Structure 1
Amino acid sequence: MSPRLANIPRKYCLLITGFVFLSFSLSANVQAQVATGEIDTKTSRVYTFVGKTGFGHEHAVIGEIKAGSLNLGARSNAGKIVFDMTTWKADTAEARKYIGLKGATSASTQKDVNANMLGSSVLNVRKYPTATFEITSAVPVKQNAPTGKSFYQLDGKFTLHGVTRNQRLIAEVTEKKHQNHVRTSFTIKQTHFGITPYSKAFGAVGITDELKIYGELDIAR
């Protein structure tokens, strides 16, 4: 016992100790509640498959999540995901492996592709540095799934390049120790968001209007 507590009656010492323990427990509980549903931006990633037209090339793009949360089971106000469009990078080794594209892309080609993708004629990240998915609901759906996996239907509004459209997708959820791993995918058309697909040489080289987007998210339980 510390010198300061030596002269305090035992019953008061027990009360003080109990109060400190209760305060610590309540604080930890509040922190856990706040963290529930929060997306781990360090480990979560988004990948995009970009198809080709004419003599163009297929591309794999990786991007980061800036912030967000997803409350699985919520029928309203289920969360929001903010995509950091300034981090989008084309044809990294990780992105190509995830999408399933063979071979590698030279540093100079990556630089050119990124400049076109992030520039004012396509994503225009200076004007639109983020995209968002406002999730209205995240309700469970019945699926024939392996043990430990469940599925949720996510409905909400996806905003890209300043344009907002309704979006529905199915998410596969796997339970981990302290997190839920959420895997999902959906397709969009660039023209639906006011983006003109990149092309050159009068259309002889270009990319497809449709993009396939994959999400790999870790969410606190």
Structure 2
Amino acid sequence: MPQHQAATALAIDDAASQITIIVRRGGLLARLGHDHLVLVKNLQGSVDPRSQRARLQFRLDEMEVDPAALRLAAGLQPQPSAEAIAGTRRNMLTRTLDAEHYPLVQLQAERQGEELALQITLHGVTRKLRVPATIISDGHKVQAEGSFTILQSDYGITPFAVMGGALAVQDQLELHYHLLAHE
């Protein structure tokens, strides 16, 4: 009998996991715009504790823009109107991310000490990066959390802008994650 039995893959618990993206305003007229918080919904994937690798994915059209409680917790005030949120979501999905042609974001991660070697596929472009992670694992569940930034332009995305860039979205996005996977 083998000394170590192969561990089964642990499923990502979407209800107990959270990825948020902070989108900052920019341009000469930035004061007229809003910073935004985007919440990833319906995160799917699994973690293989034996190989310390994970695969995750989510649909862009299932993300939620500016949930009030999360905006407040992130210190983003005031809350935009429902009309402004709907416009932001529409522009994000159609003009910026082209969610019709690139509906999925896919992530692959491998634990390397206190970091994750991460591969992100977004907008048809795949990039590799190393991100900090606090990881707790007991073989039956894995928790990971951390924060990092990416540039939209690294993925072939032109940040949203109007009025010749006087009101724009900054290229850099802030991502914060807390993930839980279990049997």
- TM-score higher than 0.5 here? yes
Identity of aligned residues (%): 29
Q: Where do 5+ consecutive residues of structure 1 fail to align?
A: 1-29, 141-151
Inter-CA distance 98–132: structure 2 relative to 1 (3 Å threshold): farther
Residue 77 (structure 2) aligns with: 102
Aligned 1:23-172 pairs, distance under 5 A:
33-34=7-8, 36-54=9-27, 55=29, 56-72=33-49, 74=51, 78-119=53-94, 121-135=95-109, 137-140=110-113, 152-172=114-134
Pairwise CA RMSD:
2.4
TM-score by length of 2: 0.84
Deviation at 1:133, TM superposition (A): 1.0
Residue 199 (structure 1) aligns with: 161
The code of the aligned residue for 1:50 comes to: V
Higher alpha-carbon Rg: 1
Would you say how many aligned residue pairs link Structure 1 and Structure 2? 174
Deviations 1:91-116 (A, max 9, x none): 11133134321221211110000000
Deviations 1:137-175 (A, max 9, x none): 2133xxxxxxxxxxx321132100000011211211356
Q: Where do 5+ consecutive residues of structure 2 fail to align?
A: none
Deviation at 1:72, TM superposition (A): 4.8
Query: Do the aligned partners of 1:170 and 1:184 also contact (CA within 8 Å) in 2?
Result: yes
Runs of 4+ deviating beyond 4 Å? none
